[in-house]
Structure formats: structure tokens, C-alpha cells
Amino acid sequence: MIDPDGPVPVYRQVADVLAARISSGELAAHRPIPSETAIVQEFGIARGTARRAVALLRERGLVYTVPQRGTYVGQPR
């Protein structure tokens, strides 16, 4: 699923997988996304890579973070 030697950075690949889950409805609006720990375990990546993937989703407007509560799927467009 994730190609660490591919031309696309790993954090973008992870963000794309999570974005596809959001688009498909697997991750529903206003529900939490998997924790960094869960992302690290699922994809076998470093915590910093997971953090960058979530930051990219935030930049794309797909998720939002509530301080001390977590990161949630945004409202569908």
C-alpha cells in the first residue's frame, strides 16, 4: 500500500489513503480520525511522518483539530 522507495513522499501517500477513507465515508464527518499511534502502527511509519500526514490533511481542509480533544473529519463539501 505505501511505497517507501516511490517518488511520492511517504507522508503524502499516508495522507492520500486517509483522504480516500474520508471521501468514501469510511471516516465520517465530525468523527475522530485514527490517532498518531494508530497511524504509526497501521502504516509502519515514524511518528513524525504520521504527524506530517495529518498536517497535510488539515492544510487540505479535510480535518480539523480541537486542542486537547483530537483531530476530526471536517464537514463534507
Strand partners, 70: 66
**Which residues contact residue 34 at a Cβ distance below 8 angstroms, ignoring those fewer than 6 apart?**
18, 42
Query: Burial of 48 by CB count in 10 Å (0-12 exposed, 13-18 middle, 19+ buried)?
Result: exposed
| pLDDT band at residue 1 using 50, 70 and 90 as cut-offs | confident
pLDDT value for 77: 60
- pLDDT, tens digit, 9 for 90 and up, residues 18-75: 999 999 999 999 999 999 999 999 999 999 999 999 999 999 999 999 999 999 999 8
Cell numbers of 20, please? 480516500
Per residue in 3-19, pLDDT tens?
999 999 999 999 999 99
| Separation CA 30–CA 32 (nearest Å) | 7
